[in-house]
Amino acid sequence: MKKFPKPGIGALLTFAALCVGAVIYLMDPLPLRVLRNAVFDQYQRWHPRAYQPLPVRVIDVDDESLKQLGQWPWPRTRIAELIQKAQAGGAAVIGFDAVFAEEDRTSPKSMVEIWNPPDDVRRQLMDIPDHDQVMAKSLAGGGVVLGFAVKREAGEGRLPARPFSVVNAGGSPLPFLHEFSSAVPSLAVLESAAQGNGALTFIPDSDGVVRRVPLMVRLSEQPMPSLTAELLRVGQGQRNYFVKVASASGAGIQEIKIGKVVVPTTPQGEMWVHYTRAVPERYVPAWKVLAGKVPPEMLKDNIVIVGTSAQGLMDLRFSPMGTIMPGVEAHAQAVEQILLGKYLERPSWATAIEALVIVLGGLLVGMVALSTGAVVSAAITGAALALTGYGAWYAFTHQGLLLDPVTPGIALLLTFIVGSVINHLGSERKQRWVREAFSRYVSPNRVDFLVENPGQLELGGRRQACSFVFTDLAGFTTLMEKMDPSDAVALLNAYLDKMIAIAFQQGGTLDRIVGDAVAIMFSAPVEQADHRQRAYNCALEMYAFATAYSAELAAKGTPFGKTRIGVHCGDVIVGNFGGSNMFDYRALGDPVNTAARLESVNKHLGTTVCVSESILSGCSGAAVRPVGQLVLKGKSQALMVYEPLAASQSPARENDAEYEAAFKLLHAQDTQARHAFEQLAQERPDDPLVQLHLARLRAGEQGDLIVMDEK
């Protein structure tokens, strides 16, 4: 038989399309990142985090506060009053989403320089406490975190204060953190009085959307926490940050521990923010705090962040929710999420999962597109795309995982398009090849017969004496469960190819293949006077090959299983059966079922090949030994069955005289039969047929009539 054709240019082009998709994934170009982020944003819009009342509040310098109390910047004395009000209200920690980098211009000493008053007025003004000192005094009241800005360009000036320590596990986090070269800190007098100091900078994506909040950044070769991280540290009264880094694998930062909370991060030390919709309860207007009009529960034990939503102050950011939000809200929502302990993550193994979907899904879609029609391949590709999208959606909604369905989807779609186009362009060539290859499914003698006798394609049949060989492979189902299906199928195909080739060499006709089982018939469609001899010879050749093939695989560590064979003959109806649309050329009759039963009873007898007496009646020189008279399940007539010595555990190969003698005693129901089989069993402990008869005799059975209770 001809071998299946090697993959052609179509398969190569389809594989190339899959490779292109994989390369696009690895390159991760900006348009792809934008598209992926858009999908992640849509997830948040469909499934935002449900707001839960948490001890996190934003003291908002909103437009109404500016209207009532004057434009920003406010005097530091007013800021100090705001701090004192929040402290008096029992705030756990107070953070400022603002930088106090310059001295207060409304301080008396600043006014003196501007006004140049008389000396007595100058002295009186200089006796008034400096506003920055007033604010520093309020900061010393405890629980306040200041902010500083960072810049990528180099600059002069001091670095922000570091009232904390960073402890690393697994290596330095510096190679992975977003790097900045200089900073704009708050005044030293204020920093020295504050308990915390955090970076205010976000790292939005190319579209300006703030999807992640950094917990740490790299500033002048030092790890510096963000305002979000410092609020949690100071609020818990902690000193240290613990940063877990997987530097050996290059996976970057894995998590940051702040007191009792452990925050999973991106490799760059950021956390993905799962936003809620806009919630007014999160905000408290600054003017109400200063006016003492805020209920105590709004501040007590709360993490308070002072920021602004006023449009004129320009601290506005794009949110994944498709709205504009105050920058302070990103800090507040990040803190809320940490307090809930529910995170959005894009784990390090996400790329491996997505790559696996691209490779396996692309191979599946490519093979389907090349081998099936447009409707089927489109349906399967659509199902694959839907499954990919649903899997990513399920991971987001149930596990808080961000998996990319976009790149795998593009790769699958690209592979489908290329495969479908190639399939369409080569459909005529493929159809011609299929017509040629389909003939391999029919035995050569059947093809020749039908070509010479086209009238035999008509429905109907005729009575004819035929011989049948049925084989089955024991243990192959277990083998399929233990090894890769493709490897198992390759072993099975090689096995079946040789088994069928043996049948064809003997002039047999392939009746059917069912899994690992093969049915062969002789003397149809062309009559063969020696069909019994052919069937017997075929069975022995099949046994010899199957035994050698199994031993060869066993030597390589692959237990392939044992082939069982049944051989029988008789009168059957041979012809085409079916309907007007499709028919099947085959034999029908009891001999067919009996041959199949003989194959099956091998497992109960311990034999490998069972041959009926009717087969041996047409064979010359067959070296066999009797098994017994079998009454097969569902039958009433006994059938004399033999085992070929070549397929037995007998030491004899021409004539097993010792066994024959013991069997004659058994057949005659002689009382000496048990003694004879006892002696044989001692000499042949591994002979299953000897053990079978001995067990029957010990159980009180007599004679060689064996009634089978099972098929």
DSSP string, 180-244: ESEEEPPPHHHHHH-SEEEE------TTSB--EEESEEEETTEEEEBHHHHHHHHHTT--EEEEE
Among residues 163, 168, 186, 302, the alpha carbon closest in space to that of 233 is found at: 163
Q: What is the mean pLDDT of residues 397-414?
A: 89
Q: Is 405 left (phi over 0), alpha (psi -120 to 50) or beta?
A: alpha
pTM recorded for the entire structure: 0.58
Of the chain, the percentage scoring pLDDT greater than 70 comes to: 90
Render pLDDT for 14-73 as a digit per residue (tens, 0 to 9). Answer: 777 777 777 777 777 888 888 889 999 999 999 999 999 999 999 999 999 999 999 998
Render pLDDT for 657-688 as a digit per residue (tens, 0 to 9). Answer: 999 999 999 999 999 999 999 999 999 999 99
Burial of residue 445 (CB within 10 Å: 0-12, 13-18, 19+) is middle
Tell me the C-alpha to C-alpha distance, in Å, between residue 372 and each of 367, 368, 381: 8, 6, 12
What domains appear along the chain, each with residue ranges and CATH number? 9-46+346-434 (no CATH), 56-340 (no CATH), 442-707 (3.30.70.1230)
Q: Which residues pair with 675 in a beta bridge?
A: none
Render pLDDT for 72-111 as a digit per residue (tens, 0 to 9). Answer: 989 999 999 999 999 999 999 999 999 999 988 877 776 6
**pLDDT score, position 117:** 67
Q: What is the mean pLDDT of the chain?
A: 87
Render pLDDT for 153-182 as a digit per residue (tens, 0 to 9). Answer: 887 788 999 999 999 998 899 999 999 999
Residues 621 and 611: their CA atoms lie apart, in Å, by: 14
Two structure tokens written together for 524: 């149809």
**pLDDT score, position 710:** 77
Only one residue has tokens 């899997």, namely 391
**pLDDT score, position 30:** 84
**pLDDT score, position 431:** 52
Max avg pLDDT among 133-137, 415-419, 460-464: 133-137
Among residues 384, 390, 374, the alpha carbon closest in space to that of 412 is found at: 384
Rg (CA), the chain: 43
Tell me the C-alpha to C-alpha distance, in Å, between residue 692 and each of 321, 547, 668, 701: 78, 22, 17, 11
Residue 579: pLDDT band with limits 50, 70, 90: low
Residue 364: pLDDT band with limits 50, 70, 90: confident
Q: Which residues pair with 462 in a beta bridge?
A: 574
**pLDDT score, position 125:** 60
Q: Is the pLDDT of residue 194 over 80?
A: yes
Q: SS3 sequence, 583-651?
A: EEEEEECHHHHHHHHHHHHHHHHCCCEEEEHHHHCCCCCCCEEEEEEEECCCCCCCEEEEEEHHHCCCC
